[in-house]
Amino acid sequence: MKIVHEYYEVIDSTNNEIKRRGAEGNAPEGLVISAGSQTAGRGRSGHAWDSPVNVSVATSMALHPTVAMEHVPRLTLIAAMAVASAVEQTCGLKTQIKWPNDIIVNQKKVCGILTEMSASKGGISYVVVGIGVNIHKQPYPPEIADKAISLDQALEDAAKDPSLFLHPEEPHRDRASRKEVDYAIWENFARYYDEFQKTEDLSGILEEYNSRLVNRNRGVRVMDPRGPYEAVAVEMDKTGALVIEVNGERKTVDSGEVSVRGLLGYV
């Protein structure tokens, strides 16, 4: 894939810009739109996503995957892995993943991912993967303050508790770079995506993903619309479903149907 980066100081939403280009037939695979701030950033489930000036990465890529339409949601998991690797590469911080796609640093979430698809009877017209990463410190709204963290805050925490670094003995930076994180994410993504296009499943990232799974072999509360219940999270399988154990029996749950929480809190 050829990655072409375009940068706007201010935009409504980087996902929207890819959609506008896509509607004009002008969103080639690998086109990346990033912005210093978004005036109408969007999150999952119709929520707004706050992107104040120059404190976060707000970035989206256009894709034309050849996989079956029902496999497109797997791209969100690939994007999560790309972010986790980028955080480790650029900041040296240990990352974990809360299934399906929350990247956790020091027990808190650093990023959000919104994948959208435009399709017709003829198939997929384009997909946009949008990623927001908290880079510099900012005040978070009270409802997410105990769950969200920026990479700068995590670097500050790690300076006091070096076990948060992958290689505590090495020297570390004290501030993250928006541009470096942005570019590293898409480099990683391109690598994982090429493999995914061949297999259509997540076998290419599975081992690395599961080694980062924060709830692995731990108790979780499964938030099933028919009623929450407790289980042990085992691993993600190559379709992206979570394998859990309930009363000694294994079953899989899908991220479209349920979410999971730690028994003691967010992770």
Closest approach, Cβ 14 to ligand BTN, in A, equals 4
Identified binder of ligand BTN from the candidate list 15, 90, 95, 107, rule CB under 6 A:
15
- H helices of the chain, where? 14-23, 74-91, 151-160, 178-199, 206-212
If 0-12 CB within 10 Å is exposed, 13-18 middle and 19+ buried, where does residue 210 land? Answer: middle
Identified binder of ligand BTN from the candidate list 31, 60, 75, 235, rule CB under 6 A:
60
Distance CA 176, CA 160 (A): 17
Q: Which residue bears the tokens 């384009």?
A: 126
Under rule CB under 6 A, residue 28 binds ligand BTN: no
Closest approach, Cβ 47 to ligand BTN, in A, equals 6
Identified binder of ligand BTN from the candidate list 38, 85, 96, 215, rule CB under 6 A:
38
Under rule CB under 6 A, residue 262 binds ligand BTN: no
Under rule CB under 6 A, residue 99 binds ligand BTN: no
Give every CB contact of residue 229 below 8 A, 6+ residues apart in sequence.
Answer: 221, 222, 246
Q: Which residue bears the tokens 């996989």?
A: 67
Closest approach, Cβ 131 to ligand BTN, in A, equals 6
Under rule CB under 6 A, residue 41 binds ligand BTN: yes
Q: Is 251 helix (H, G, I), strand (E, B) or coil?
A: strand
Residues that bind ligand BTN (CB under 6 A): 13-15, 38, 41-44, 47, 49, 58-60, 112-114, 130-132
